[in-house]
Amino acid sequence: MAIGHEPVERGNFFSQLPLDLSEEIIEVLIQSKSFRLERIISTGQATPEGEWYDQDTPEWVLLLTGRAGLWLENDTEMIIMKPGDYIYIPAQRRHRVEWTDPDQPTIWLALHYQK
């Protein structure tokens, strides 16, 4: 068995954006049994009114381009995210995306993982 001969994959995170951005795009970049890394592209989308994300695993999110407003259940203020901002959301912490920038792609890097 040759060591170190697994193919190397490389690219540019901002290249090859889908042409149709009328809906939010979630692309799984890499995953294993213990984690999933996603590129999410939003263009004005938000969590539907009255709905919340309530995930079984923690999520760490980095906003790379655009802007977004997040609500964490029971918080009194919306979190406004801009490029470079990140947030750790514990498992079972209900949250929602209130808005994303409609004038440019909001690109997120999201890591879901097992503790």
Rounded distance between C-alpha atoms, residue 33 and residue 100, angstroms: 30
41: Cα within 13 Å, side-chain hemisphere? 18
Q: How do strand 79-81 and strand 68-72 relate by DSSP bridges? A: antiparallel
pLDDT at 77 over 90: yes
What does the pLDDT read at residue 109? Answer: 97
* In the block, residue with structure tokens 């994303």: 100
Q: Which of the four pLDDT bands, split at 50, 70 and 90, describes residue 34?
A: very high
Burial class (CB in 10 A: 0-12, 13-18, 19+), 108: buried
Domain ranges of the chain: 25-113
C-alpha 51, offset from chain centre:
17
Q: Which of the four pLDDT bands, split at 50, 70 and 90, describes residue 22?
A: confident
Task: Determine whether domain 25-113 maps to CATH 2.60.120.10.
Answer: yes
